[in-house]
A and B are shown apart, each in its own frame.
Chain A
Amino acid sequence: MTAAPVTIRPRVTLSADGGTALVTAAAGRVAAFDVTGGELRAEHPAEHVLGVALSAGGATLAVATARELVVLRDGERRAHRLPRRPAALAIADDGTRAALLFGGRPATVELWTLGRDAPDATVEAGAGGRGELQADGELSLLLAWLGDAPAGTAPAALLAGGLEPVDGFPGPAPTAATAVHRGRAWAVGPEAATAWTAAGAGDDIPATLRDRVALAPGGGHVLLHRVEADLGSGGARVLLRAFALPGLAPAGEAEAELAGHSEAAVAVTDELEVRAVRATADGAIAVERLALL
């Protein structure tokens, strides 16, 4: 046998509103970029980074290290002591509050006002050593993914207000993807993408497990995008469908070809311009316009 290497690819994830891109695993740092202009908004050396989160509106970047939660906002940096290593975190748009997910059996979610000595609220939320947190800009709706290797994580809990569990989430059907923004948590199942709120399951859109959700910054539209055909060499033909909120009336539909589909994140603007965002090898971003719906 020859040596088996592991190659690290730069990874891009978007803020819930799609306006800010977070690039990790590149250039020895974690960095946030404005998707429209490409400007660097915030960065932090990768060395001690255990977890990182963009706020829903992208204005705040939070970095968890072994001992600290570092909040980067408007060019300022504030560090807060962490009680222990979190499995995942979320940060409010104003940078004053954070949600921390601690793995375990059970796992727990804690809501903190930064600077205080104790959490504002704590709740048990499923089980697992690994997790992810999605949240809206006010941390009024939190969605926790939990699990263990080898299966990985799955949606485990939806928490509203002061970490009140939303009954029935995620439902009996498997959930392939989720997104949280402006008081709604979108869950993509085999039949539909459902908009959950603190009150429970709400409107839905016909969908498949291939659909993914992108949300317009202003909260007026939701985009569902899915692979319709594999074009080879990593490329895909994707179906783009936009719906207007709150009634979910169709607002536009198109197909587009997307190279390197697995490595791209999809964003939609309030004007329904659909963009593919990728991380470059040097740790920046490249933005491609896919369609105007």
Chain B
Amino acid sequence: MHSPDRKHDAAAPVPHVEDGVAAAPGAVLPLGGVQGLLSGGALGTGQQHALAAGAARGHGNASLSRMLAGPIAIARMPVAEAKEAILSAGRGLGTDEEAMYQAIRDCDDRVALRGDPDVIAELDDELSGWERWKATLLLELGPEAGWPPAITELLAAMEGAGTDEARIFRALSGLSEADVKRIGSVGGIMAALEDELSGKDLEAARQLLSGSYAKAIAYHRANVAMMVAELNSWRTGSDVFLRNTAEWLAPTSGGSPKNNLYTCSPTHDAAARATAHGQDGKTTYFGADKLHPDDSSTYDAHIDGRSGGLRYPAAGVGGEHLDRDIWVYDPQFWGAAVVRDQIVTHEVKHDADRHDTEEGHDDAYKSPEESWNRYKTEFRAYWTGQQFPTSSNSPLSGSATAPWDNAKQKAIFDHMMATPVYAEFLAPNYNGNTEVDGAKFQDLVHGYKEPEGVNLINSPRIDDFFLALQASTPAATDMAAAPLSTLATRARGLDADDLAAVNAASASRLHRMLEDNLAASAFAAIVLILGGGTTPGWATVNIGPARRAILAAGAGLGTDEQAIYDAIANASDAERAAMRSDRVIQGVLEDELSGHDLWLARQYLQYGPRSQWPKAVLDQDT
């Protein structure tokens, strides 16, 4: 540890005399003039010490004038004189460290000086720890003004009474690879640090000075730069999916991204650190504390340190998504194509599909309901990415053996079942054939032959529309006021690709939401926008009002059977046809009605008002 009783300057770096003294060139000042300058505060502490020491040791005015003169006028100190100054500074009781430093600074041939064994022996005898390292730095690098800032800061952290370990590690963590190389070429740093640190602190310092930490930081910056370049190229490319994904994460307009993207990189001790943190077999990544495109993340060099936004994904995991956050792990390792086709678009899909508002999302992990929700979002993400390209995994019906529909569906399922992070929730439910709202898990999986969802193309505009729709209710009817005015504006903001996506059959969940969340008049107005002036085919039948009426009739204690019958009877033929296959309506009927009441409801569904019932049916209603 550092000895506080040594003589030294304050912790601040010592400014070199060449830097700031403004005495006239060649000025020869009397001693009193020196004292006047000292008391006047024109010189830094180090200079004051050096001048005072020089004067006290009887150095002549010539020497003092060199110390005071500016960089152009200064006459540098010959080697022999510098050597003598160093040896003199060590004589007698105590050591005048600053005089030694000053002699080195002023020496006109530092190479010769550091090659002089007497000088080195004197420095070794008289100085230790950071003071010895400072002398080495001066010998190797010259005056402080030419030092890399990180070295200056590191030395400053070691100077002074006690050890400012936090400052030392901040400084060490700030070393670039070039800094590390330069420090390594100078030597002496470890001896200095051994004076200041011990145990894990010293080991962490060794790691930092080995260059591995600096490499990890530099590598991380390259990882972030790669993500910036990739997102920029996607934004201007021809792939709609990629364009949308880039806009999702880094809007051209500069607004808030839909997701928080974090580029993460392995720590220099990635595997060992994971083990030290109780994450055996995993890899430690840092960077989850700085949002894209901020590349300034660092981490604690101590192996047990947890700063820097650490994450520990399992082997083979290229990215993760949770709530608003997306983490991409080591994009340079996976390569641009994998990052593009398999990681980023996949993770954005998890958010764009809004499965966090879909049935099952808030059930317990591994429960049938939550697992079905999770299976669907993974299926969508793998399907729309390029991990299972259609050229080798056909999506055509009939390209797989029953009960599977197509080869791509089967390949995605196989991948999930073979991968522990998915199998842990999928296998128990699939193999156990659990039930989700009365449906068998295997039937659901086999029937999910292609993805559906609110936003299969990762469009931020569709998401804006979705969010406005989510905030709408059937009670709103004024198209000129929020929330409907907002919804209409966002509908008009959809581009041609967006409109194709929201009008596709695969957007059935969005269609259901439009029916459920909008009054009939608002529904008609919005779908007209979505259809570009005509009502899209999927919207010609709107069973939202009937569904709401039936749900209301079945809510609470008791059931209003007549309200259910009326809702059905008043519907058109096409609406009743749609109602017959609507899971919500069928669920209410089966839950709330039985016996003759249920029979009646089914007749209404089949034939409409009683006036339209066949005589044979009427005859049965006795």
Contact flags (1/0) for A261-276 with B, using CB distance below 8 Å?
A: 1110000000000000
Give Cα A151–Cα B390 distance, bound, in whole angstroms: 9
Q: If A4-B350, A28-B333, A153-B391 touch, does A129 touch B242 (CB 8 Å cutoff)?
A: yes
Q: Is the CB of A209 within 8 A of B238?
A: no
Q: If A2-B365, A13-B392 touch, does A49 touch B318 (CB 8 Å cutoff)?
A: no
Query: Which of B4-12, B300-308, B337-345 binds A?
Result: B337-345
Residue in A46, A103, A145 whose Cβ sees the most chain B Cβ within 10 Å: A46
Chain B residues with Cβ under 8 A from A288's Cβ? none
Is the C-beta of B414 less than 8 angstroms from some C-beta in chain A? yes
Q: Is the CB of A147 within 8 A of B398?
A: no
Which residue of A5, A13, A52 is within 8 Å of B337 (Cβ)?
A52
Q: Is the CB of B238 within 8 A of A7?
A: no
Is the C-beta of B622 less than 8 angstroms from some C-beta in chain A? no
Which residue of A28, A51, A103, A150 is within 8 Å of B383 (Cβ)?
A150
Q: Is the CB of A6 within 8 A of B347?
A: yes
Give Cα A24–Cα B243 distance, bound, in whole angstroms: 24
Is the C-beta of A1 less than 8 angstroms from some C-beta in chain B? yes
Q: If A153-B390, A178-B391 touch, does A234 touch B418 (CB 8 Å cutoff)?
A: yes
Contact flags (1/0) for B369-412 with A, using CB distance below 8 Å?
A: 01000100110110110110111111111111100100110110
Give Cα A151–Cα B395 distance, bound, in whole angstroms: 8
Is the C-beta of B470 less than 8 angstroms from some C-beta in chain A? no
Which residue of B398, B401, B450 is within 8 Å of A190 (Cβ)?
B398
Q: If A1-B323, A6-B342, A150-B451 touch, does A25 touch B334 (CB 8 Å cutoff)?
A: yes
Q: Is the CB of A5 within 8 A of B233?
A: no
Give Cα A7–Cα B411 distance, bound, in whole angstroms: 14
Q: Is the CB of A9 within 8 A of B316?
A: yes
Is the C-beta of A227 less than 8 angstroms from some C-beta in chain B? yes
What's the nearest-Cβ distance from chain A to residue B209, in Å? 27
Chain B residues with Cβ under 8 A from A85's Cβ? 233, 237
Q: Is the CB of A228 within 8 A of B401?
A: yes
Chain B residues with Cβ under 8 A from A5's Cβ? 313-314, 317, 319-320, 421
Give Cα A129–Cα B233 distance, bound, in whole angstroms: 13
Q: If A149-B384, A150-B506, A262-B411 touch, does A6 touch B343 (CB 8 Å cutoff)?
A: yes
Residue in A51, A149, A260 whose Cβ sees the most chain B Cβ within 10 Å: A149
Is the C-beta of A104 less than 8 angstroms from some C-beta in chain B? yes
What's the nearest-Cβ distance from chain B to residue A162, in Å? 24
Q: Is the CB of B421 within 8 A of A46?
A: no
Q: If A7-B317, A28-B333, A151-B395 touch, does A210 touch B390 (CB 8 Å cutoff)?
A: no
Chain B residues with Cβ under 8 A from A260's Cβ? 414, 418
Number of A-B contacts (CB under 8 A): 204
Is the C-beta of B584 less than 8 angstroms from some C-beta in chain A? no
Q: If A129-B238, A148-B240, A149-B456 touch, does A209 touch B394 (CB 8 Å cutoff)?
A: yes
Give Cα A149–Cα B378 distance, bound, in whole angstroms: 15
Q: Is the CB of B417 within 8 A of A174?
A: no
Is the C-beta of A50 less than 8 angstroms from some C-beta in chain B? yes
Which bracket fits the contact residues of A? 35 or more
Q: Is the CB of B320 within 8 A of A227?
A: no
Give Cα A5–Cα B422 distance, bound, in whole angstroms: 9
Is the C-beta of B419 less than 8 angstroms from some C-beta in chain A? yes
Is the C-beta of A130 less than 8 angstroms from some C-beta in chain B? yes
Give Cα A88–Cα B389 distance, bound, in whole angstroms: 13
Interface positions, chain A 197-212, Cβ under 8 Å from B, are 208-210
Interface positions, chain A 1-53, Cβ under 8 Å from B, are 1-9, 11, 13, 24-25, 28, 30, 45-52
Which residue of B242, B313, B342, B378 is within 8 Å of A25 (Cβ)?
B342
Q: Is the CB of B401 within 8 A of A176?
A: no
Contact flags (1/0) for A137-159 with B, using CB distance below 8 Å?
A: 00000000101111111100000
Q: Is the CB of B241 within 8 A of A227?
A: no
Chain B residues with Cβ under 8 A from A174's Cβ? 396
Chain B residues with Cβ under 8 A from A178's Cβ? 391
Q: Is the CB of A229 within 8 A of B401?
A: yes
Q: Is the CB of B337 within 8 A of A49?
A: yes
Give Cα A152–Cα B392 distance, bound, in whole angstroms: 11
Which residue of B318, B392, B458 is within 8 Å of A8 (Cβ)?
B318
Is the C-beta of B22 less than 8 angstroms from some C-beta in chain A? no
What's the nearest-Cβ distance from chain B to residue A219, in Å? 22
Q: Is the CB of A47 within 8 A of B226?
A: yes
Q: If A150-B457, A208-B398 touch, does A8 touch B316 (CB 8 Å cutoff)?
A: yes
Chain A residues with Cβ under 8 A from B421's Cβ? 5, 7
Q: Is the CB of A176 within 8 A of B414?
A: no
Chain A residues with Cβ under 8 A from B233's Cβ? 66, 85
Interface positions, chain A 218-242, Cβ under 8 Å from B, are 227-230, 233-234, 236
Q: Is the CB of B407 within 8 A of A176?
A: yes
Chain A residues with Cβ under 8 A from B506's Cβ? 150
Q: Is the CB of B398 within 8 A of A209?
A: yes
Give Cα A233–Cα B413 distance, bound, in whole angstroms: 10
What's the nearest-Cβ distance from chain B to residue A136, in Å? 16
Q: Is the CB of B338 within 8 A of A262?
A: no
Q: Is the CB of B415 within 8 A of A149?
A: no
Contact flags (1/0) for B589-622 with A, using CB distance below 8 Å?
A: 0000000000000000000000000000000000
Chain B residues with Cβ under 8 A from A102's Cβ? 238
What's the nearest-Cβ distance from chain B to residue A46, in Å? 3
Chain A residues with Cβ under 8 A from B397's Cβ? 209
Chain B residues with Cβ under 8 A from A132's Cβ? 389, 391
Chain B residues with Cβ under 8 A from A1's Cβ? 322-323, 356, 361, 365, 370, 374
Is the C-beta of A59 less than 8 angstroms from some C-beta in chain B? no
Give Cα A66–Cα B506 distance, bound, in whole angstroms: 34
Give Cα A3–Cα B347 distance, bound, in whole angstroms: 10
Residue of A nearest to B318 (CB): A8
Chain B residues with Cβ under 8 A from A148's Cβ? 239-241, 457
- Closest 10 pairs (CB-CB, A-B): A46-B335, A129-B239, A149-B241, A152-B390, A103-B238, A176-B394, A262-B411, A3-B322, A150-B456, A104-B238
A-B contact pairs, 28 of them (CB 8 A): A1-B374, A3-B320, A4-B374, A5-B317, A7-B419, A8-B334, A8-B338, A9-B415, A13-B392, A25-B342, A45-B335, A48-B226, A52-B337, A103-B237, A130-B241, A130-B386, A132-B391, A147-B390, A148-B457, A149-B458, A150-B451, A174-B396, A208-B398, A209-B398, A230-B400, A234-B418, A262-B407, A262-B415
Known: A4-B321, A66-B233, A150-B506. 9 other contacts (CB 8 A): A24-B335, A46-B336, A49-B336, A103-B238, A145-B391, A152-B395, A177-B391, A177-B394, A210-B398
